[in-house]
Amino acid sequence: MFTDHYELTMLQAALHSGAAHRRSVFEAFARRLPDGRRYGVVGGTGRLLEGLERFRFGTDELNFLANNNVVNDETLAWLSDFKFSGDIYGYAEGELYFPNSPILTVESTFAEACILETYVLSILNHDSAIASAASRMIGAAGSRPCIEMGSRRTHEESAVAASRAAVIAGFYGTSNLEAGLRYGVLTLGTAAHSFTLLHDSEEEAFRAQIGSLGAGTTLLVDTYDVEAAVRKAVAIAGPSLGGVRLDSGDLLAQARDVRALLDSLGNTNTRITVTSDLDEFAIAALAAAPVDSYGVGTSLVTGSGAPTASMVYKLVAREGDDGGFVSVAKAAKNKASVGGRKFATRRLNDAGIATSEVVGIGQQPAADTNDRILLQEFMHDGVLVPGWTGAAGVVRATARHTASMAEMPGTARRLQRGEPVIPTEYVQATAAAK
């Protein structure tokens, strides 16, 4: 039922016309990147595939549709037996995408593909927006790790999805325990200001935390006076104190002062973590600060100014009366699409650096020696291809993102507004190839 009402009424009308069972090719893509962004990151594919295995209409769902006169009896009968039986291809999760990249291709009957539209877009748009923002933050952080801490700033299920997407894009770990349970990602966390305020003194709170969690814990030192807190922390834990966290004020100035103080007290190995409404630009501004890691929340889980990837899901080819496929495309002003099944290749130079995205219409583009084919098979005849879901899928997507970023020109990591880091080229199939 994670779909829109009109998907099912459209299904009913297609069943009535007899066109519902025509083989069809749908494509998910973004017409453009968020303003000024140089690339996007595919996120959510594994979650989509996991959910598709459970995409069914049971008794409760069918009764709701019947009682509310959403669709007729013929459509209800069709839905009662629904199980996706088609093929799904697309860019591997963690892969970079550009305007009009064929991110996901669904081939099945019109009926089966049609009712997946809202579900596909809700996952890909959310998770890709988070992964894209996370990737920019990782680029700004350089070698310093980032930790996802945004669960309290979004819906509880969105929080799990955001944690997963952030880790795929390079975040070291997350505060979200459900993400750890479902996907095996590293979870981290120590204490909030309320823990300090609970105790009669800051010193008592620090002793309790260190006594329970060990000297390697990270203490939050800005509840009252930062300098006094750092001195108390060192006095209690000694040189083995794991870290301190700063969550307010001028983080650049405070980090410098705290680093100097820690070093003067002999705690040269005590790490400094900063939090407090960070985004990629704030992280970049802290590049010169003696900071060891960043905790990122609100900006990450809201896409850092781009809360959706603006992907669409369009019919690009359908079966004709002669049994062959016919390319179809929307021609509306500013919303035109390119008809035909797409194939994509990442063109690389001799140094392994990407120079363009080549999209073939109707056939796979001819590949040069270094080119990399982008479309992967996720599902065949309704059966999942192993390796794309669960914890293994997250590991695979993380590796794919790392490799994809490594083959991009250096301008990909720039935060300044700019055009896509590589252009997209179209190659039309010849009549013979069609």
414-421: long-range contacts (C-beta < 8 A, 24 or more apart)?
A: 414/38, 415/136, 415/139, 415/140, 415/280, 415/281, 415/284, 416/36, 417/35, 417/36, 418/36, 418/38, 419/38, 420/33, 420/38, 420/39, 420/98, 420/99, 421/38, 421/39, 421/354
Confidence grade of residue 305 (pLDDT, cut at 50, 70, 90): very high
Is residue 63, in this structure, part of any structural domain at all? yes
Q: Within this chain, do residues 341 and 281 fall inside the same structural domain, yes or no?
A: no
Q: Within this chain, do residues 235 and 274 fall inside the same structural domain, yes or no?
A: yes
What pLDDT, in 10s, does the model give residues 207-262?
Answer: 999 999 999 999 999 999 999 999 999 999 999 999 999 999 999 999 999 999 99
Q: Within this chain, do residues 227 and 329 fall inside the same structural domain, yes or no?
A: no
Rounded to an integer, the average pLDDT of 74-89 is 97
Confidence grade of residue 429 (pLDDT, cut at 50, 70, 90): low
Confidence grade of residue 188 (pLDDT, cut at 50, 70, 90): very high
Going by their DSSP bridges, the two strands 372-373 and 342-348 should be labelled as antiparallel
Rounded to an integer, the average pLDDT of 386-406 is 98
pLDDT at residue 365 in the model: 86
Confidence grade of residue 366 (pLDDT, cut at 50, 70, 90): confident
Judged on CB neighbours under 10 Å (0-12, 13-18, 19+), 62 is middle
Confidence grade of residue 334 (pLDDT, cut at 50, 70, 90): confident
CB contact set of 386 (below 8 Å; sequence gap of 6+): none
Rounded to an integer, the average pLDDT of 287-304 is 97
pLDDT at residue 150 in the model: 96
Is residue 174, in this structure, part of any structural domain at all? no
Tell me the one-letter amino acid at 321: D
Kindly tell me if the per-residue pLDDT of 183 is higher than 70.
Answer: yes
Range with lowest mean pLDDT among 170-179, 192-201, 321-330, 380-389: 321-330
**Helix then strand then coil, % of the chain, to nearest 5:** 40, 20, 40
Kindly tell me if the per-residue pLDDT of 333 is higher than 90.
Answer: no
Domain boundary among 237, 260, 291: 291
Tokens standing for 91? Answer: 């860019």
Q: Within this chain, do residues 281 and 311 fall inside the same structural domain, yes or no?
A: no
Is residue 286, in this structure, part of any structural domain at all? yes
Euclidean distance between CA atoms 427 and 308, whole angstroms: 29
Q: Within this chain, do residues 235 and 322 fall inside the same structural domain, yes or no?
A: no
Is residue 344, in this structure, part of any structural domain at all? yes
Rounded to an integer, the average pLDDT of 321-331 is 87
Rounded to an integer, the average pLDDT of 411-432 is 86
Confidence grade of residue 321 (pLDDT, cut at 50, 70, 90): confident
Tell me the one-letter amino acid at 78: W
Does residue 362 or residue 278 have the better pLDDT?
Answer: 278
End-to-end CA distance of the chain: 37
Kindly tell me if the per-residue pLDDT of 78 is higher than 90.
Answer: yes
* Sign of the alpha-carbon dihedral angle for 92, 149, 290, 215: negative
Q: Within this chain, do residues 310 and 287 fall inside the same structural domain, yes or no?
A: no
CA-to-CA dists, residue 225 to 231, 248, 249, 280, 411, angstroms: 10, 11, 11, 28, 42
Rounded to an integer, the average pLDDT of 270-281 is 96
Nearest-CA neighbor of 419 among 45, 39, 1? 39
Count of the separate structural domains present in the chain: 2
Q: Within this chain, do residues 419 and 332 fall inside the same structural domain, yes or no?
A: yes
Q: Which residue has the tokens 């089966």?
A: 112
- Where in the sequence is the domain holding 229, given as residue range(s)? 190-291
Is residue 181, in this structure, part of any structural domain at all? no
Kindly tell me if the per-residue pLDDT of 23 is higher than 70.
Answer: yes
Extended beta strands in 202-341, E state: 218-220, 243-246, 271-274, 293-296, 311-319, 325-327
pLDDT at residue 432 in the model: 39
pLDDT at residue 290 in the model: 98
Rounded to an integer, the average pLDDT of 164-187 is 98
CA angle in degrees (0–180, nearest 5) for 129-133-134: 115
Q: Within this chain, do residues 269 and 385 fall inside the same structural domain, yes or no?
A: no
In the chain, what percentage of residues exceed pLDDT 70? Answer: 99
pLDDT at residue 106 in the model: 98
Domain boundary among 234, 264, 291: 291
Kindly tell me if the per-residue pLDDT of 338 is higher than 80.
Answer: yes
Domain boundary among 246, 262, 291: 291
pTM: 0.94
What pLDDT, in 10s, does the model give residues 369-379?
Answer: 889 999 999 99
Does residue 311 or residue 321 have the better pLDDT?
Answer: 311
Rounded to an integer, the average pLDDT of 349-370 is 90
Q: Within this chain, do residues 280 and 317 fall inside the same structural domain, yes or no?
A: no
pLDDT at residue 430 in the model: 55
What CATH code is carried by the domain that includes residue 329?
A: 3.20.140.10
pLDDT at residue 419 in the model: 95
What CATH code is carried by the domain that includes residue 250?
A: 3.20.20.70
Q: Within this chain, do residues 14 and 81 fall inside the same structural domain, yes or no?
A: yes
Rounded to an integer, the average pLDDT of 298-321 is 95
pLDDT at residue 433 in the model: 43
CB contact set of 211 (below 8 Å; sequence gap of 6+): none
Confidence grade of residue 405 (pLDDT, cut at 50, 70, 90): very high
Ordered DSSP codes for 130-173: HHHHHHHHHHHHTTS-EEE--GGGS-HHHHHHHHHHHHHTT--E
Kindly tell me if the per-residue pLDDT of 26 is higher than 70.
Answer: yes
Is residue 268, in this structure, part of any structural domain at all? yes
CA angle in degrees (0–180, nearest 5) for 223-229-230: 130
> Three-state SS for 362?
coil
Is residue 296, in this structure, part of any structural domain at all? no
Kindly tell me if the per-residue pLDDT of 335 is higher than 50.
Answer: yes
Q: Within this chain, do residues 284 and 313 fall inside the same structural domain, yes or no?
A: no
CA angle in degrees (0–180, nearest 5) for 85-91-92: 95
Kindly report the number of other CB atoms within 10 A of residue 307's CB atom: 16
Q: Within this chain, do residues 201 and 285 fall inside the same structural domain, yes or no?
A: yes
Confidence grade of residue 431 (pLDDT, cut at 50, 70, 90): very low
Euclidean distance between CA atoms 313 and 127, whole angstroms: 16
Euclidean distance between CA atoms 102 and 123, whole angstroms: 16
Is residue 102, in this structure, part of any structural domain at all? yes
Question: Average model confidence (pLDDT) for the chain?
Answer: 95
